[in-house]
């Protein structure tokens, strides 16, 4: 129904899923923007991990996205790299649950503090590759 650029191959800017539910060209564009940003971020983090000699053990997807996404569809659209498909771990409301755990359990809070000391912030927008990767991954894989 759409080509690799996200343009409809139909004579309309809407595709109806039912009498009252449809996907518009604007919906596809919003998905492309989100997909491009997420995938660019994943690619940059994979490159950093590889430079540091670290293998990716798991890709945690949190919140509604992590709970409801179909991994095969995420790979097929290019949101998630194929090599990470079997490493995806849904984790629900991780921030909320983690905060609650820290509030009620001092050892969990101490562990969180230890983890925070060994993490590195990666400013994706400041990465010189981000814009190119973002643009590249807005497109859909063509079959």
Q: What is the pLDDT of residues 95-124, one digit of tens each?
A: 999 999 999 999 999 999 999 999 989 999
| Burial bucket for residue 31 (CB in 10 Å: 0-12, 13-18, 19+) | middle
pLDDT band for 87, please (50, 70, 90 cuts): very high
Task: Please answer whether residues 9 and 1 qualify as being in contact, where contact means their C-beta atoms are separated by less than 8 angstroms.
Answer: yes
Cα Rg of the chain, angstroms = 18
- How many helices, marked H, and strands, marked E, lie in the chain? 6, 4
Task: Find the range with the poorest average confidence among 11-15, 25-29, 50-54, 83-87.
Answer: 50-54
CA-nearest of 126, 142, 141 to 41 is: 126
Instruction: For residue 115, count other CB atoms closer than 10 A to its CB.
Output: 9
Task: Give the predicted TM-score (pTM) of the model.
Answer: 0.85
143 has a pLDDT exceeding 80: no
3-state SS assignment for residue 2: strand
133 has a pLDDT exceeding 90: yes
Instruction: For residue 74, count other CB atoms closer than 10 A to its CB.
Output: 20
Q: What is the pLDDT of residue 53?
A: 81
pLDDT band for 59, please (50, 70, 90 cuts): very high
């Amino acid at each position: 129904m759409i080509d690799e650029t996200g343009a409809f191959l139909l004579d309309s800017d809407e595709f109806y899923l039912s009498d009252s539910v449809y996907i518009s060209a604007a919906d596809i564009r919003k998905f492309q923007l989100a997909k491009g940003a997420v995938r660019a971020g994943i690619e940059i983090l994979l490159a950093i991990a590889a430079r540091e000699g670290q293998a990716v053990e798991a890709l945690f997807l949190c919140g509604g996205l992590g709970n409801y996404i179909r991994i095969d569809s995420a790979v097929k659209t290019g949101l998630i790299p194929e090599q990470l498909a079997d490493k995806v771990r849904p984790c629900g409301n991780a921030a909320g649950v983690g905060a609650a755990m820290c509030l009620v359990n001092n050892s969990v809070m101490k562990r969180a503090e230890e983890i925070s000391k060994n993490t590195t912030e990666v400013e994706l927008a400041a990465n010189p590759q981000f814009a190119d990767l973002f643009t590249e991954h807005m497109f859909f894989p063509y079959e």
